[in-house]
């Protein structure tokens, strides 16, 4: 009887020990799970911090966070707008310069055409001047004081004055050194009373219109 009681007590102790072991294992598992939850929470916080830092600045590989993409798009649009304004401004300046050059070139061409036309008219009037001079040169000294001759001479002088006001003037020749730009030598002679290469006589008077020669003087050059 006593033996049965002792065996029963030993069986109960074994059951208690076996029951205690799972409880300890369950407690350890619970503790491990809690530690894992803490670690997971810390990892999430680190991820959130890294995401916040990436949102404030560009990443090391040069990419731009989504939060800043809109800002850069606006800046890029603004830069393109400024470039377009500069391009249009440059084109406007070029157009103004080209128009100014065209205007100056047109005015110069008009002035040249006017000068060519004026020279052509003057050249046609010069034979009339020559005829006046030839006619007056043949008048005898006794008749030079006559009314008719005086009238012709007045008309001749008036014509010369009108041409002078328009920019036409005669070329000086007699006594001047021969210049092929103004004189046309049709005769050469020797005369010790003149210097070297000097115009001694003028056969036909030359004229200039402003700074250009309309007709060269026809002259005789000595020595």
Residue 218 counted as domain residue: yes
pLDDT band at 181 (very low <50, low <70, confident <90, very high): very high
Inform me whether the pLDDT recorded for 37 exceeds 70. no
pLDDT band at 38 (very low <50, low <70, confident <90, very high): very low
More confident residue, 42 or 105: 105
Residue 57 counted as domain residue: no
Residue 46 counted as domain residue: no
CATH (domain of 202): 2.30.22.10
Residue 130 counted as domain residue: no
Total domain count, the chain:
1
Say which residue the tokens 């404030």 belong to: 56
Give me the half-sphere count of Cα atoms (radius 13 Å) on the Cβ side of residue 140.
2
For residue 130, what are the contacts with CB-CB under 8 A and spacing of at least 6? 204, 205
User: Residue 214 — left, alpha, or beta (φ > 0 → left; ψ -120 to 50 → alpha)?
Assistant: alpha
DSSP characters for 127-145? Answer: HHHHHHHHHHHTS-GGGTT
Inform me whether the pLDDT recorded for 190 exceeds 60. yes
Average pLDDT, stretch 189-205? 85
Give the mean pLDDT of the chain. 76
Residue 52 counted as domain residue: no
Which pLDDT belongs to residue 74? 57
Residue 184 counted as domain residue: yes
Which pLDDT belongs to residue 58? 46
Which of 181, 174, 170, 177 is CA-nearest to residue 206? 170
Residue 68 counted as domain residue: no
């Amino acid at each position: 009887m006593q033996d049965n009681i002792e065996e029963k007590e030993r069986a109960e102790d074994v059951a208690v020990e076996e029951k205690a072991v799972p409880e300890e294992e369950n407690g350890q598992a619970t503790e491990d799970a809690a530690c894992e939850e803490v670690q997971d929470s810390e990892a999430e916080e680190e991820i959130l911090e890294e995401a916040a830092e990436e949102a404030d600045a560009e990443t090391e590989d040069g990419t731009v966070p989504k939060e800043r993409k809109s800002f850069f798009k606006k800046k890029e649009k603004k830069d393109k707008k400024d470039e377009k304004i500069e391009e249009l401004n440059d084109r406007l300046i070029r157009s103004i310069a080209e128009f100014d050059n065209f205007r100056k070139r047109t005015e110069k061409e008009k002035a040249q055409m006017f000068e060519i036309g004026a020279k052509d008219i003057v050249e046609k009037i010069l034979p009339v001047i020559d005829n006046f001079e030839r006619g007056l040169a043949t008048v005898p000294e006794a008749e030079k004081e006559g009314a008719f001759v005086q009238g012709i001479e007045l008309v001749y002088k008036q014509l010369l004055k009108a041409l002078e006001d328009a920019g036409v003037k005669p070329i000086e020749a007699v006594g001047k050194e021969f210049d092929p730009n103004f004189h046309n030598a049709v005769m050469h002679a020797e005369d010790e009373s003149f210097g070297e290469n000097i115009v001694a006589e003028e056969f036909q008077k030359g004229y200039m219109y402003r700074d250009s020669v309309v007709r060269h003087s026809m002259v005789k050059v000595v020595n």
